Amino acid sequence: MAEKSASLAEVQAAELHKVEAHEVETNELVPNQVEPTSNHYAIAHSKSSVFYPEYERKSDLKHQTHYCPGCGHGIVHKLIAEAIEDLGVQDQTILVSPVGCSVFAYYYFDLGNVQVAHGRAPAAATGLKRACPDKIVIAYQGDGDLAAIGTAEIIHAANRGEKITVFFVNNAIYGMTGGQMAPTTLVGQRSTTSPWGRRPVNEGFPLHMAELLATLEAPIYIERVALSDNKNIMKARRAMRKALELQRAGAGFTFVEVLSPCPTIWGKDPVEARNWVAEKMIPAFPLNVFRDRKVEIPANNAPPHKTVAELVEGEKNSAGPPLPKHHHHFRQLDIKIAGFGGQGVLLLGQLLAEMGMREGLEVSWLPSYGPEMRSGSAHCHVCLSKERIGSPVISRPQVLIAMNEISLRKFAPQVARDGIIIYGREQLPENFNAPQAQVVCVPASDIADKLGSAKVANVVMMGALLEETECLSPATALNVLEAKVKNPALLELDRKALDAGRAYIDHTVAVGALTQADGFAQ
Ligand SMILES: Cc1ncc(C[n+]2csc(CCOP(=O)(O)OP(=O)(O)O)c2C)c(N)n1
Ligand code: SF4
């Protein structure tokens, strides 16, 4: 079997790459060659410069991929690499690799690489392409990845006409996980989860993804090709190249399905597997160009194209005179705000993030809430930073704003050493202890009630936060409230609530259960 696969690989290399074969008979090395190894073999053909010179996946064998002999993934990789090289787009290309046997594609392709969760490549590719429209974005997926767990992603990306290219490697089985039935497993084909062969009455019929996507209006190019013989491999080569050329021209959604051998799981040697593609897969999945046309998508409903900076600038201008400069005494401040749904927890986070943006900081806001619209638990993470934010998830907040006892007890242990907890009650509950942090009690709901509406308790807490930490300027808070709160009566209440929260810290602050005359937390 090893001998067969070696000769197959050589034949394909010679036919596909138009590369001179170099027998390593002398000690003179040509580019991309390596010296004979202790295993007594040497690479006798060159490879695309789109591949890394050495693969770091394994400490030894740095010129070998992890694919089994005769696996279609290796061939598809070569075809993609050569197309990218020929089109001269290596520096512009981002490859989104899936979960499956090809999960390690990023070890081989010297491109922008992103590896994503199972089935999510079209969604990730959508984000990448929209953020970087001048890049060539490729989603590379297996049949389990694309046609099972990722069915929704591929259909919707295709239906939206995302200007990405999807290479779909259909080997009719889950390779990586040891041979479970895939949506594309043939009728009668055995797998570990269809040990008697796939029976439509029990497992349904194979999914024909190319045909299915061709029912949608937006895709511009859909073709199914096969790695069954060299002639078909050359057709596959042309199809992949065409898809990438169309993307380079900004045309629209392109999709190439590749019927591909998986000798290992099919229990065949590479030549038998290739023949099986020809004899069994092609009749079940006919090769065809299912779509090749330009689609006119009306542009009149395109959203206004403004950068975040322009949008924020626009809001700033509409919200009055420029803000005074505020000194930020932190590099990054991580704040967690928690309470019941309906207490304005998420809104408070949004307001802080907006304020941070207006003060020129990098910001993120990440909400988390239960299914209930009222009374369920809700919390959010807010990062204010002078640098780009690595992750919006906060596991060790420096500041916790806890609007109720449950949130206090749940999140207080997470607060960083020397952090601050602002608790929205007059006193701490019994048996509460958070020795690593300072605790400031602010009876926000009572204060808000006295002002006329419990709704503004969150703004009382905002005032307390600003006064206690000086993280952002109160002038910015007012500026944001004025821009966001359209109801004049509520805006007036919010102003009072902001002042009341600040005044409480200044005059009556309670640290733990104790009132401190100086207004500062211990
Ligand atoms: C969310 C999630 N569910 C399941 C898995 C297990 N899993 C890993 S790869 C795979 C299927 C891969 O099959 P396919 O996409 O056909 O790729 P191949 O390995 O055949 O190239 C599955 C189910 C996972 N990693 N993550
Ligand atoms: S298990 Fe199949 S798909 Fe995976 S690397 Fe081996 S031959 Fe290729």
Q: What is the pLDDT of residues 170-226, one digit of tens each?
A: 999 999 999 999 999 999 999 999 999 999 999 999 999 999 999 999 999 999 999
- Look up tokens 């989104």; give the residue: 96
Q: Which two tokens stand for residue 495?
A: 């102003």
User: Whose alpha carbon is nearest atom 26 of ligand 1?
Assistant: 118
Look at residue 318 in the predicted model and tell me its pLDDT. 57
pLDDT bin (cut points 50, 70, 90) of residue 266 is very high
For residue 279, give the nearest of 175, 182, 209, 186 by alpha carbon: 186
Counting residues of the chain whose pLDDT is more than 90, the rounded percentage is 75
Look at residue 381 in the predicted model and tell me its pLDDT. 98
pLDDT bin (cut points 50, 70, 90) of residue 19 is very low
Is beta strand 377-385 parallel, antiparallel or unpaired with respect to 332-340?
antiparallel
Q: Give the model confidence (pLDDT) of 297-314 as tens digits.
A: 777 666 667 776 676 666
Is beta strand 510-511 parallel, antiparallel or unpaired with respect to 514-515?
antiparallel
Please tell me the pTM assigned to this model.
0.68
User: Whose alpha carbon is nearest atom 24 of ligand 1?
Assistant: 118
Using the mean position of ligand 1's atoms as its centre, give its distance from the Cα of residue 80 in Å: 22
- Look up tokens 């002999």; give the residue: 69
Q: What is the DSSP letter of 331?
A: S
Using the mean position of ligand 2's atoms as its centre, give its distance from the Cα of residue 350 in Å: 47
For residue 401, give the nearest of 366, 368, 444, 433 by alpha carbon: 444
Range 466-471 average pLDDT: 95
Range 254-265 average pLDDT: 98
DSSP string, 258-282: EE---HHHHT--HHHHHHHIIIIIH
Poorest-pLDDT segment among 40-44, 119-123, 277-281: 40-44
Question: Which residues are near ligand 1 (CB < 6 Å)?
Answer: 99-102, 118, 142-145, 149, 171, 173-177, 182
Residue 141's SS3 state is strand
- CA 314, CA 321: separation in Å to the nearest integer? 12
Range 128-132 average pLDDT: 95
Q: Give the model confidence (pLDDT) of 34-77 as tens digits.
A: 455 556 667 667 899 999 999 998 878 888 899 999 999 999 99
Judging by beta carbons within 10 Å of its beta carbon (0-12, 13-18, 19+), is residue 321 exposed, middle or buried? Answer: exposed
Look at residue 147 in the predicted model and tell me its pLDDT. 98
Residue 277 has pLDDT above 60, yes or no: yes
Look at residue 369 in the predicted model and tell me its pLDDT. 83
Using the mean position of ligand 1's atoms as its centre, give its distance from the Cα of residue 172 in Å: 12
CA dist 144 → 8, 167, 186, 204, 211 (Å): 27, 13, 14, 15, 17
Residue 374's SS3 state is coil
Q: Give the model confidence (pLDDT) of 322-354 as tens digits.
A: 777 889 999 999 999 999 988 999 999 999 999
Using the mean position of ligand 2's atoms as its centre, give its distance from the Cα of residue 380 in Å: 43
Angle value at C-alpha 61, between 81 and 3, nearest 5 degrees: 85
3-state class percentages of the chain: helix first, strand second, coil last, to nearest 5: 40, 15, 45
Look at residue 312 in the predicted model and tell me its pLDDT. 65
Contact 373, 365 (CB under 8 A): no
User: Whose alpha carbon is nearest atom 8 of ligand 2?
Assistant: 71
- Look up tokens 């930073």; give the residue: 385
Poorest-pLDDT segment among 18-27, 60-69, 138-147, 276-285: 18-27
Q: Is the minimum distance from the CB of 400 to ligand 2 under 6 angstroms? A: no
Residue 319 has pLDDT above 90, yes or no: no
Which ligand 2 atom is nearest residue 66's CA? 5
Which ligand 2 atom is nearest residue 72's CA? 8
Look at residue 507 in the predicted model and tell me its pLDDT. 87
